[in-house]
Every structure is written in structure tokens, then in C-alpha cells.
Chain A
């Protein structure tokens, strides 16, 4: 495995690098997830005219720690009629892939566990494994709400993977590489400007994949109680919770990497830029969650297949044509053209997009 961006004076070679970064990633993910939990609760609370957690530590920053301790001390309940092995295995299967995504996320130039040359493909592949864990949880719980939630999750992930991957391909075409650090290095202009439509599609699809509002159907508390983790408690529940926020973190990080030029930015140190951008993306996710209601399952499907999928295909084709036809064109012209194309396409689709489903005669 090639390590082109590994600093040459790095002591100890590959295994030291590996060990250090595993620890860094683990600590980073845990710390960021806890920070995100706190951040989401605080930001949301303020937007809802209240204060949010403010008891544990200054501004309540230690609230996630307190929650974690509470959750760890809780009794672990397994439904009597549930499938015990699968029930036990599910949180692990759901959580580990989330952690593994960060192996290829570059925190700054060279700060990466494994700069795979197929990095983004790896991300797409690994992130889907979480779904298996969630379906296992839904199945093993022997609870109808859990099963409904798990089925919703599988349906939505299977559908949304396609527009998400298609919009990633646009980025890959521009960067000419599947490696995440190469993609960042290729972004002299952030790809959000070169690929505005791709960004929109990826963001919507990403929100749907990580089950963030308005696509949080699988744990829609007002409909199916808590979805797949209805029957989970204690540490296993905590793992699902971590997985959920870890996914949110991962999506924020990948959006940052693919579209917001990753760690690159003036003045501030690169890792800080990276964190700021991740935080910004996450704030937008939280902000949307605070505002909008939830879509219905058939609307979710219709949105994926009728709205996102055709637009993603068109976006891909346009990107390919641009790259082939005007390889020498000024980037800023392309930016303007692409934004115009995005506006036209979105308006056009908004006009003609009709939702399927509704009442079913029974």
C-alpha cells in the first residue's frame, strides 16, 4: 500500500503510523461525537427558545459524558423472544463500520491513517454495512416497531446509495482520483462551486442515508416509537447512539472533503479548517432537523428515484461533457455555467416532480 503523503521523517514506519492513527481516530471520533451530541442539543435548544443541557460542566459540555455513564450503568435487556446472538451482534456491526470510515478521511495534508487510492469507494462500501447492523437489530428485537424501522432503513439506504454514488462520481471525474486526499488537493476551487448540483444531491442523499430529519423515518419517534432500537438499552443502545452521530460526523467530514476543499483554507491551521467546515456542515444538518417535518416512506422513495436519481445522472453526464469538451475552459466560467444548470434543472424538476402513493384501496 502506497503512502505517498506520509512524512518521510515519520519514525517507526508503517506500524507506528498505523497505531498512532488508530488511537487518534478513535479518540477523535469519540470526542467529536460527544461534542456533536452536545452541540446538537445546545443549538437545537436555542433555536427552540430554551437552553438545553447546562448542568454538567461549563455550558453543559460534559452532558454527553454524564449520559454515557448513565447509559453504561443501565441494565442490559434482551427481549425474551428475541434472537440473542443477533441482538448482541447488531450494535457492533452497526458501529464498527462508522469508525472504519475515518481511516481514509484526511484531517490535514498527510494526517490520514490509510490514503487508499480507492478511498471514496471504500467509504461508500463500508458505510453501507451499518445498514446490515440496523436490520439485524430490527430483526432480532422481535418487535414490530423495530422491524418496521429496520425495513424502512434498508429501503431508504438501497435507494439513496445510487444518487449519492452518482454525485460522488462527478467529483471523482473532476479530481481524477478516488483517493480522498488527492480529491482535496485537486480542489483549488471548492467543488461545491464546480459541482453545485452534485453537492445538493449528495447532501440530501447523505442526510437520508444517515437518517437525519427530514428523512429520519427509521426511528420516527412519533410513528414507530424508536424504530430499530426500541428494544435496546444500556451499552448496546449507546453504541447505536454513537453510530448515529458517528455517521453524522462521517457525512459532515466527507462533504467537507469532497465539496468544501477539506482542510484547505487560508490563515488558520489546516486541521482547524477541517473541524470548522465539519462543524458548519453539521450545523446545517441540525438546523434543517429543527425546522422541517418528516417525509413519508413512499415520498422518501419517490424523492430518491424521481428527483435525485435523474438529476444525478444528468449531472454526471454534464460533468463528463464539460471535462471532455472544454478541458481548458476557465474554472470560473464552468462555475457559472454549472450554477445556472443547477438552477434550471432543480426548477424544472420541482415543476414536474409528482409524488407517488397516497391512499391505498384495501
Chain B
């Protein structure tokens, strides 16, 4: 060690830390204080629009993990595919969003929710009913511009820090 600067370097550092006493902390107190997530959040659980889905299985093909399982049958009277089984094992899902992007009919959405932890692994497997939208299972705006504009804006740390300079 050589104090050729006579401790000025240390003094500068001490000044930076003491000045932080006067700044606001940047952390948030999570369960009480929540930030708005991105409008494009690739949150937990896919949301499925039963009406729009044609059962083309593009999502299943585009899934890198092979998470999506679709079984369809042909309905005689309506002349279209009927989705017999639509199963997503979210335990394997990596939330890459490729299925949502691939869906040609905008029938699949990423979830807007987070905090969807489960107690059993079995509960992670979502079937047809479990994939439908509900109050706590809102679709996110990922690759869906129409939904994106309806969601609230993300809170940014950039807007929160008050740094006087």
C-alpha cells in the first residue's frame, strides 16, 4: 500500500457514501408496494381464447420445450376442428413466448399475472378449462398490440430516482 494521494481517494469515496444518506432508497417494499410490470410481461401461465382457436397446433410445433399438447377431432356439422385436449405443462414452460408469437389467429396469450406459485407439481399442468382467461388470469400484451395499449404503463426506476446533479 502506498498513500501517494494522502488518502484523498478514500476521502472521495467517503463523500459518495455519506451523500447517499440524503438520497431516497431505490428499493420497494414488495408485498405492500407493487410496481406495475411491463405491458408485454411474459408472466405465468398461458391464456387461451377458446373461440378463436382453430386447433392448428402451430403453437405446439413452435414450442422449443414440447410443453404444449393438442389433440383435435373433426366436427362433422360445423366443418372445423374441435380441440379435444389442450394441455400445457407449465413446469416445463420456459416462458419464451414463441408459441404466442407463432399463433396465427391470436388465440394464445402470455399471462399478465405473476405470483402464481403452486403447492403441487400436478397443479402446474393446465388443461383446457385451466387455460381460459379469468379475473386473475388476464392476458398480457406480449405480441398482442391490441391488448398492450389497454394495460397500464410500466413503472420505471428511471423515473423514481431523484438524483441531484
Contacts and interface: CB of A to CB of B under 8 A. Distances in A.
A and B touch in the complex (CB under 8 A): yes
Interface of A: 43, 45-51, 54, 287-288, 290-292, 295, 299, 302-303, 346-347, 349-351, 353-355
21 contacts: A43-B21, A46-B21, A46-B25, A47-B17, A47-B18, A49-B20, A49-B26, A49-B27, A50-B27, A51-B25, A51-B27, A287-B17, A288-B14, A290-B17, A291-B17, A292-B10, A302-B1, A347-B6, A350-B2, A353-B2, A354-B2
A47 B27 CA distance: 13
Nearest to A356: B1
B38 to A, nearest CB: 23
Chain B interface mostly: loop
A350 B17 CA distance: 24
A287 B1 contact: no
Contact of B3 (A47, A290, A353): A353
Interface residues of B, number: 19
Nearest to B9: A292
A350 B3 contact: yes
Nearest to B28: A51
A291 B13 contact: yes
Contacts of B7: 350
Complex A-B, nearest 7 residue pairs according to Cβ-Cβ distance, in ascending order: A350-B3, A355-B1, A291-B13, A50-B27, A47-B17, A291-B17, A47-B20
A49 B23 contact: yes
A210 to B, nearest CB: 19
Contacts of B159: none
Most buried by A among B1, B3, B29: B1
Nearest to B7: A350
Given A287-B18, A291-B17, A292-B10, A50 B25 contact: yes
A299 B21 CA distance: 31
A180 to B, nearest CB: 30
A299 B17 contact: no
B4 interface: yes
A344 B27 CA distance: 45
